[in-house]
Structure 1
Amino acid sequence: MALATRNTYHHGDLRQSLIDAAIALIGEEGIDDLSLRQVARRVGVSHNAPYRHFEDKEALLAAVAEQGFQSLRTTMETARQAAPSDPSHRLEAIGIAYVNFALANPLHYRLMFGDYRCNFSKYTALAEASRQAFMVLVSTIQEGQTAGIFRAADTIDMARVAWSLVHGQSTLALDNKLQVGRGEELEAFLRFSSQMLINGLAGMICNV
């Protein structure tokens, strides 16, 4: 049976199985004690098998984070497409989807943005996945600027403001420090804060 299992991994399942096992083990024991040997044991393959796909623990964690950013981008893009065509509604939908993603995928999210950050210059696929997720925000704000809804300020800076808001909300919610209940109460708060953001993006630039 073990040999049959390993043969299926040769057909492309091993890499994803290792990623899934790493996520599970991080949830159980944290990142610091994670090892490729431990992951291999969880998957049921030889200790050397993970090295077919990952040179070390950091490479495996980079793949986990990359997958997280890809999923985040898909989540935001799906919400964007489902929202009314008005850029304001789309930005609101993206922000809510971002926070909900973090709450639904806390292990992925903490690895993507936590203290254990992989070197983006070394893992270019991870860097690109992160950039593509951020570009969902950028393109939506550009859309609003073109329509004359959002102010004609630097688009990247405006996207950073939007990201900072939802990232802060996500982190506080995950740490149970947002002081807002889950479900409808959280949804109402996110819509309120999104409207505050949108009003700011649409308003006049203040001279400081």
Structure 2
Amino acid sequence: MTQAKRNSRKAPVERYHHGDLKMALIQAADQILAEHGLEGFSLREAARRAGVSPAAPAHHFGSAAGLLSEVAILGFEELAKHLDVDPSAGTPTQRMRMQGVGYVRFALTYPGRFHLMFRHDLLSHDDAALQAAGDKTLMQLEQTIRAMHSLPSQQSLDTQARAELLAAWSMVHGFAHLALDGKLSQLQAATPSNGLLTDVLPKMLENRWPDA
């Protein structure tokens, strides 16, 4: 065997010992989802892109669900950034509308992650880090709803506030799916570039939650 072939065979092992293999696999999976969606994902392709053996993903994550859960955590972390609105930026109602636009902007920017994050059949149900990331993201919306209703953090959401939280989440989540699935194509054709985020969605949110 030539020296070049020996070095080639050793490369995945050396990357493992360098400690970057796990992140390389997560980045590879994220890239596959961004390019081809959930239908194009496979552990074998993730391993190929990371430059390791097909058995490496299972060694680090146990299963496809384990690896995809790590990508979903990245998604929730990025979504949290899109929901991060300065507390001084207008009234609580105005901030909630900004968060709604941020939610959809995230979905349109990271469609692969967005479709994955809520596919519980593809993720690890017992992943504490995934659960924490999802809860933290939802809490950002909840805190804004609390501010709208003047509810302290230690008090449970009342029926009205809980219904408002679900209504806000459902509206922007559904809007994001319609946009990603091309169901708004006729509307989008008559709307200026990026108009869904700058005109249509803000107006929908304002009609549902107008300024006092």
TM-score range, shorter chain: 0.7 to 0.9
2:4 aligns with none
Q: Residue 184 in 1 paired to residue 189 in 2?
A: no
1:160 aligns with 166
Q: Residue 55 in 1 paired to residue 62 in 2?
A: yes
Q: Residue 172 in 1 paired to residue 183 in 2?
A: no
Identify which range, 22-31 or 167-176, moves more after superposition.
Answer: 22-31
2:139 aligns with 135
Identify which range, 20-29 or 48-57, moves more after superposition.
Answer: 20-29
Q: Residue 111 in 1 paired to residue 111 in 2?
A: no
Identify which range, 136-145 or 35-44, moves more after superposition.
Answer: 35-44
- Within 2, Cα distance between the matches of 1:31 and 1:38? 12
CA RMSD in angstroms comes to 2.7
Q: Residue 197 in 1 paired to residue 208 in 2?
A: yes
> What residue identity is the alignment partner of 1:158?
E
1:176 positional shift: 1.4
1:124 positional shift: 2.2
Aligned residue pair count? 194
For the residue of structure 2 that corresponds to 1:199, the secondary structure is coil
Please list, as runs of the form range in 1=range in 2, the aligned pairs for 1:11-160 lying within 5 A after superposition: 11-28=18-35, 30-31=37-38, 34-77=41-84, 80-81=85-86, 84-114=89-119, 116-120=121-125, 122-146=126-150, 153-160=159-166
User: Could you tell me whether the CA contact under 8 Å between 2:73 and 2:129 is conserved in 1?
Assistant: yes
> What residue identity is the alignment partner of 2:98?
A
Q: Name the TM-score, length of structure 2 as normaliser.
A: 0.78
Distance 1:17-1:139 versus aligned 2 partners, 3 A rule: same
Gaps of 5+ in 1: 203-208
User: Could you tell me whether the CA contact under 8 Å between 2:22 and 2:60 is conserved in 1?
Assistant: yes
- Within 1, Cα distance between the matches of 2:120 and 2:181? 15
User: Could you tell me whether the CA contact under 8 Å between 1:99 and 1:167 is conserved in 2?
Assistant: yes
- Within 2, Cα distance between the matches of 1:55 and 1:68? 20
